[in-house]
Structure 1
Amino acid sequence: MKLKHTFSAFLLGITAFAFSGCQSVLDETPRTAFTIDYFKTQDGLQSAIYTAYAGLRYDFGPIGAMVLGNVGTDEFTYGDQGASGQTLECGIYSISPTNGAIGTPWNRNYSNINLCNAVVEFAPNVTMDATNKSKLLGEARYLRAMYYLLLVENFGAVPLDLGSGDLKFNSTPSCTFRRNDPDLLKKNFQSMIDDLLFATENLPDQRPAGEYRLAKGAALHLLARVYTYRAYSAVKQATDFQSAYDTAKKLIDGKAKYGTDLLQDFGDIHKEGNDYNKEILFAVERLPLNNIANEVVNPSSDFDQKVNISCNMFVSNYTSVTKNGVTLFPVRVLQYGRPLRQFCPTRWTLDVAFADKLNDSRFNNTFRDAYPIATFYTAGSSDYTKYVADMAAIGFALGDTAFYIAPTDAIAKTLKAANKKYVIYSPSETYSNQNRANNIYPALRKYEAVNRNSYQDISGRPFVASKFSEVYLLAAEAAMALGKNAEAAQYINVLRDRAAYRSGLSATELANRRAKIQVSASDITLDFILDERTRELCGESIRWPDLAMRGKLVDRAKKYNPDVTNLQSFHLLRPIPQSQLDATCETVKSQYQNPGYN
C-alpha cells in the first residue's frame, strides 16, 4: 500500500509484555495520543491497519530479519563481513538469547498483533460501509496470522493471551508469560488457519494495481503454506496436506479471478521498475527515494529498524578487482550495491541446485556472475571523464565485461587460455565456505536497486512476501504427500517451462530446452521439491523456516553447508529472547526458554 505521511505510535497498541509500539505512516492527520475509544471509530480502525501493514517492515528487509531467513541454511553461509555478531551466531549455530536478530520479531510483532486484535474486537460495532468493514477485518486477520507465523516458525508455541485473554486486545502491560499451555502450538496453528480462512472470504478478489493492499490471492497462498507447515508439526492433522492441496489448487485454477499469473520471463519477477507485477501477491511496501514514507532516518547507515537493506546484503567485494594494477570499480556502483558481504551462497547452491545454467534461466536471473564496466559518476563530470579514460587505457569501454565468475573451473581455464581481456575467476578461486581467500562470489541480483541517491543507501523497493510461483511448489508438495507424484511433476513442470524461457530463443530452441529440464513422477521427493524451492525462491528470506518447519534443517544444512559446525536438533527453534525472560514476573524464568538454550 502507498504510505505517505508520518504517523505517531499508537500509545495503546502495546503488547502484553510491555514492549514499545511501532511507528506507522498514513495518509492521515498526525496524532500524538489515543484512547481506546479511538479504536471504536472508522478512522481509528483504519489507522490501526495502516500501522500493522507498516510494522511488517521490521520482518521484511532489515539485517536481522534477513539473517533469520537466509544464514545457516543449505543456501547461504556468512560472508567475511558477516563473520561476527548476529550473522556469525546464526551461521554457525552458536546463538545466544541476546542475539539481536531473534529479538526483532519478538519485540516488534506483538504490538502489531495487539492492534489487529483491536480491529477484530471493535470493528463489528463500528458503523461503516459493510464491504469496507469486511475488507478491514480481512486485512486485520491476515496480518495477525502473518505476525503469528513469523513467531511460530522461529520460536514454536507462543502466547495468544497478551493479558486480556486469547486473541483479545490488551491495554494493560502484563509481565505474565502465558506459554505453558500444552495445547498452545495447536491453538497457534488453528488461530492462523481461522484468520486466513476468514481473509480468503472477506478480502477483495484482487489487489489494486500499483500498491500492495491485501487480497484473496495472498490469503490463499499463506493459508496453503500454514497447512503445509502444520502437516510436518507435532500437532499435524490428517487432512493438512489435502487442505494445502485444495487451497493451492483453488488459487491456481482461479488465477484469472484473483488477478495473478506467472510471468513469461523469470527475470522479470524481481526486476526493478516491475515491482507491482501480477506474479507478486503481496509485498511489504517501500517507496523509492522517500525516506520519510519508508520510516528511515539515515539511509546510508541504518541497517535495522524498518529499512530494506536487501540490495547490499549479498554483494561481494567487486570493488577489489583489478586489471593490470588498475581498479576496475574505484567507486561503488548503484546497480551492483554496497559490498557488505554478509551472505555468501554455498557451493551446493551454485554448483548443485543451479547445476544446469544453460537450459534453466533461473541461475542467471538469480545471481550476478558478470560485471560490466560502470560508474556512479555523473556523465560530464571530471571524475567521470577520468574514469572513462582510465578504463580506455587498459582496453575497456563502458558496458564491457570487467570480470566474470565462470560456472566451472574447466570453463574458466578455457577462457583464460583464450586471453579474454576481462578478469576471469574460476569457482575454486571465489569465496565460499570451502575457500575464504577471495571475497568475490556471485551476488544475488533479485534486490538490485539503482533508484537510490547514494551507493551507500538502502533500497526503496518493496520486499516480496508472497509469490504466485510458490503456490505451484506448495501444490506439488501436497500432491506428493497425497501419493499423486505424477500431478506433482505437472506442477513443477509449469515452473520449469517458464524457467527455460530466455528472450531471443527460437521456438525450436525453447522447446528443446524445455524438454531437457522436464521432470517425471519418479523424480518427485521432498528433497527434490526443496531443491526446486531454492531454484525458484533463492535468497527470499524463507529458506530457514522452510527447512526448520519441515524438519529438514539439520539434515540439509549439515550436508551442504560446512560452516554450521554447532547445528543440533534443538536449533529447529530459536531461543526466547533474554529480554523477554528478564521482563517476566514468573519466579522460574528458565521454564519458558526453548530446550537447549538454558
Structure 2
Amino acid sequence: MSLASCEDILDEQPRSNFDPSFFQTEKGLNGGLTSMYAHLRWIYGDAYYYNTGLTGTDEVTYGRDADENFLVMDLSGRGVINANNSRADRLWENAFPNINTASGIIENAAAVSTISPALIAEARFFRAFDYFLLVQTFGGVPLDLGSGELMFNRNPIRTSVRNTVPEVYTKAIFPDLLTAINDLPVTGRVIGGATKTLARLYLAKAYLTYGWWLENPNNIPTYPEAQRVDPDGHNAQWYFQQAYDVATTAIESPGPFGLMETFYDVNLAQNDRNKEMLLYADHTETSELYNGGSLTWGNGGAPDNYAGWMMTWNYTNIRSSTTQDWSSPISSVQREAVQALGRPWTRMAPTIGAITNTFADKTNDSRYDGTFTTVYRGNWPKAGVDAPVVFNANSLEVSPGGAILTFLDEEPATAITYPAPGQAGRSNVGAGELPGRADFVISPQGISRIVYPGLWKLGPYRTDNGNGLGQPNAGSTRPFHIAKFSELYFIAAEAAVKGAAPKAGQDARELINVIRARAGKWRWDNNGNVAKVQDNSAAMVAATPATIDLNFILAERSREYFGEGYRWYDLVRTQKWNELASTYSIGGDKYGDHTPQTVVRTIQPHHYLRPIPQAQLDRMDVTPAEKAAYQNPGYN
C-alpha cells in the first residue's frame, strides 16, 4: 500500500508478527502504525466479509453461482449459518491481531521520545475501530488477549473470556476515540491517514449504536448476557444526544473534508481518494508489493479487492452476430477492466425491491444511475473481432460502444417480447425486444438471480488498458471505501429522530435534505454515456416528507450506500432487519426466467449476532462446555 502526501509515503514492509523489542524502536512503532492501514485490506474488499454485510438484507440476495458461504447468509432455507460457514471470521481473524499490535504501540510509545501523541492516536483510533466492528458483529468480545485488559500480549494463550457489550464500549471504544479526537491532526499525516474528522465519525456512530443497544426496542438478546444499563450511568437518550453533537461538530469543523458536488463524482473511479473519503483500504496498479496482490490475476482471496466481482453477472455470455442471419454469433460484450464491467462471479444479486422501491425515483435522483450498470455496451473490437457492426435485437445493427443490452428503468408501456429458450436470432441470455430498438431489454420485474444490473460503483479502473481489455481478471486496484463524510449527516439525522435536541437549521429533515439535494444534481448520465447538466435539487427537497421517520432515513442510507456493506449493520443497529427484509422478490436462476418469486426469510433474534468462528473455538484449550458457553446462543 502506498499512500502519498506530497513527499510523505507510507512505506509498507510486510511482517507476519511483531515482537516486544520491535515496538521499543522508532522504526518498529512506525512499522506497526503502517500495519494498521494494511490490515484493512484483509477485511474490506474481501468478498466473504462483504457478503456478510449485505446478503440477507433488503438490498441483496444470493446469485445463481452462490456457494454455501453466500446461500446460508440469505436465511431463506438454503442452509443454516454456523461457526464454519459464517464468513464474519474474516473480521475476527484480522481484527484481534491488529488490536494487539495497536496495544503494543500504545504501551511502548512512551519509551520512544520521537513518537508524538498524534501517532499514538492513530493506534488508538484503529483499536477502537476494530473493537467497534467486533462488538456490532459478535456482541461482547475479549478485552484481555492474555496480558490484561487492553494490554499488549507477549505470550501464547489458549483461553479467552468475553467481556460484555457495555464493557467493550466504555472501557475500549469510547476512551480510545475520545483520545484520538483530541490528539489526531485535522489533516492526515499521509493521504488516507486518520484524522479528527474520522475519529468523530466513529465516535458519533458508536454513541448512536450503543444508544440503540441500551434502548433495545424489540428485545433482541445480547451475549454475554448483560443488563442494558450503562456503567457510567447514562441512558439511551444521553447517547443519542452525544451522537448528534459529535456528528454536527464534525460537519461544522470538517477540516479538508466535505461533500462532493454530485453523487456520480463520489464513486467515479477517477475521483478515488476524494474529499468525501475519510478512510479506505488502499490499493495501487503501480506495484504488486504495495497493492497487496497480483496486478494481472486474482484468485478470490484477501488482500485483493475483489468484492465488486460478487454482484457482477456473467454479461460475457451475451451474444450478437456479425451476420444478419445470426450464423456467426460472437461475445459482443467482453470482460474488460473498466468500471461498468469487470470480472463476473454472480454470487450476489440485487433484489427487485431494491431496484423498484428503494430507487423508485430514477428521474430526479441520480443515485440509481450512479450505483448500477444498466446498459451493457459493445466492446468486441478490443478483443480483436474485426466487425464494424453487429446484429442485435430485432436484427438491427449496433456499432462499437452502442447498447447491446439494457435494464429498463421502468416497466414499459409496450409489452416486451421475450424469446423462447434457444430461439434463433433472439437473446441467448433471455433478454427481450421492444419494437424499433437494437438493444435487448429486461424490465425491473424481469431481473433474476442470473441476469441483473451490475454494481457500477465498485467496478475496476485501470490506466494501463491501452486499446485493449486490460486486466479484468485481477483484483481491483481501486481503494475500497470504508468511511465517508456524508455519513455524518445520516448519523446526526438518525439521532435527532431518536430524540436528540437539534441545533437551528440542523434538524433531521434539514440534514437529510443536504444529501437529497446533492443527489438531485447531475453532470453526467452514466448509463446513457452522455453529459447531463441538470439540477433537480428543489424537486428532491420538496419530495422529502415534512416529518421524516427512521424508515425514511434507512431508505436514504440504502440509496446512498447501496452495495457498500453497510446494510446488515444498519438493520441490526435499528432492529429493523425482520421488518424490512423478511421477504423479497426476484426471478429464478435460469436464462429467460422473468417471473418474480416471493421468497420468505426466517430471521430469528439470535441472528442479530454472528457466530464466533470455529477456528477461535478450536484454538481454545478449554472444556467442551466452556466452548459452548463461549459461542453465541443459537449456533451450538
Q: State the TM bucket, normalised to the shorter chain.
A: 0.7 to 0.9
Q: What residue in structure 1 maps to residue 337 of structure 2?
A: 334
Distance in 2 (alpha carbons) for counterparts of 1:478 and 1:317: 41
* Secondary structure of 1:364's aligned partner: coil
Task: Return the letter of the residue paired with 2:203.
Answer: L
1:407-446 to structure 2, matched below 5 A, reads 407-410=409-412, 413=415, 416-431=433-448, 436=449, 439-446=450-457
Structure 2 contact 517–536 (Cα < 8 Å) conserved: no
**Structure 1 runs (4+) greater than 6 angstroms displaced:** 28-33
Distance in 1 (alpha carbons) for counterparts of 2:127 and 2:500: 33
- Normalised by the size of structure 1, how large is the TM-score? 0.87
Q: What residue in structure 2 maps to residue 11 of structure 1?
A: none
Structure 1 contact 348–560 (Cα < 8 Å) conserved: yes
Residues 385 and 510 of structure 1, relative CA distance in 2, 3 Å threshold:
closer
Distance in 1 (alpha carbons) for counterparts of 2:15 and 2:309: 35
1:11-50 to structure 2, matched below 5 A, reads 27=11, 35-50=19-34
- Out of 345, 352, 367, the position equivalent to 1:347 is 352
* 2:382 counterpart of 1:386: no
* 2:240 counterpart of 1:223: no
Residues 231 and 192 of structure 1, relative CA distance in 2, 3 Å threshold:
same
Structure 1 contact 412–424 (Cα < 8 Å) conserved: no
Unaligned stretches of 5+ residues in structure 1: 5-24
Structure 1 contact 58–65 (Cα < 8 Å) conserved: no
Structure 1 contact 155–574 (Cα < 8 Å) conserved: yes
Q: What is the deviation of 1:207? A: 2.8
Q: What residue in structure 1 maps to residue 224 of structure 2?
A: none
Structure 1 contact 26–47 (Cα < 8 Å) conserved: no
1:172-191 to structure 2, matched below 5 A, reads 172-179=155-162, 181=163, 184-190=164-170, 191=172
* 2:104 counterpart of 1:124: no
Q: What residue in structure 1 maps to residue 143 of structure 2?
A: 160
Residues 277 and 512 of structure 1, relative CA distance in 2, 3 Å threshold:
closer
1:108-507 to structure 2, matched below 5 A, reads 108-128=94-114, 133-179=116-162, 181=163, 184-190=164-170, 191-207=172-188, 211-234=191-214, 235=228, 237-238=234-235, 239-255=238-254, 258-296=255-293, 300-323=297-320, 325=326, 326-329=329-332, 331-335=334-338, 336-375=341-380, 378=382, 383-388=383-388, 390=390, 395-410=397-412, 413=415, 416-431=433-448, 436=449, 439-451=450-462, 453-482=470-499, 487-503=507-523
- Normalised by the size of structure 2, how large is the TM-score? 0.82
Distance in 2 (alpha carbons) for counterparts of 1:109 and 1:59: 8
Structure 2 contact 12–34 (Cα < 8 Å) conserved: no
Q: What residue in structure 2 maps to residue 524 of structure 1?
A: 548
Q: What is the deviation of 1:67? A: 0.8
Distance in 1 (alpha carbons) for counterparts of 2:614 and 2:92: 11
* Secondary structure of 1:344's aligned partner: strand
* Secondary structure of 1:80's aligned partner: coil
Q: What do the CA deviations read for 1:523-547 (whole angstroms, capped 9, x no partner)?
A: 4111111111001111111111111
Q: What do the CA deviations read for 1:189-240 (whole angstroms, capped 9, x no partner)?
A: 121111111111111102367x211111111111111111111114464211
Q: What is the deviation of 1:171? A: 1.0
Q: What do the CA deviations read for 1:501-531 (whole angstroms, capped 9, x no partner)?
A: 11279xxx95655234435564411111111
Residues 514 and 134 of structure 1, relative CA distance in 2, 3 Å threshold:
same
1:522-561 to structure 2, matched below 5 A, reads 522-560=546-584
Q: What residue in structure 2 maps to residue 17 of structure 1?
A: none
Task: Return the letter of the residue paired with 2:180.
Answer: A
Distance in 2 (alpha carbons) for counterparts of 1:523 and 1:352: 20
Structure 2 contact 584–600 (Cα < 8 Å) conserved: no
Residues 100 and 477 of structure 1, relative CA distance in 2, 3 Å threshold:
closer
Q: What do the CA deviations read for 1:382-428 (whole angstroms, capped 9, x no partner)?
A: x5252545569951112211111112222574895442111111123
Residues 100 and 304 of structure 1, relative CA distance in 2, 3 Å threshold:
farther
Distance in 2 (alpha carbons) for counterparts of 1:32 and 1:430: 45
Structure 2 contact 610–632 (Cα < 8 Å) conserved: yes
Distance in 2 (alpha carbons) for counterparts of 1:32 and 1:524: 49
More off after superposition, 547-556 vs 259-268? 547-556
More off after superposition, 384-393 vs 267-276? 384-393
* Secondary structure of 1:286's aligned partner: coil
Distance in 1 (alpha carbons) for counterparts of 2:575 and 2:286: 41
Distance in 2 (alpha carbons) for counterparts of 1:218 and 1:212: 10
Q: What is the deviation of 1:35? A: 4.0
Q: CA RMSD in A?
A: 2.7
Residues 196 and 333 of structure 1, relative CA distance in 2, 3 Å threshold:
same
* Secondary structure of 2:104's aligned partner: helix
Whose helix proportion is higher, 1 or 2? 1
Structure 2 contact 44–50 (Cα < 8 Å) conserved: yes
Distance in 2 (alpha carbons) for counterparts of 1:229 and 1:328: 48
Q: What is the deviation of 1:498? A: 0.6
Distance in 1 (alpha carbons) for counterparts of 2:138 and 2:12: 35
Unaligned stretches of 5+ residues in structure 2: 215-227, 417-431, 526-532, 586-597
Structure 1 contact 548–572 (Cα < 8 Å) conserved: yes
Distance in 2 (alpha carbons) for counterparts of 1:593 and 1:504: 50
Residues 30 and 557 of structure 1, relative CA distance in 2, 3 Å threshold:
closer
* Secondary structure of 1:446's aligned partner: helix
Q: What residue in structure 2 maps to residue 78 of structure 1?
A: 62
Structure 1 contact 368–443 (Cα < 8 Å) conserved: yes
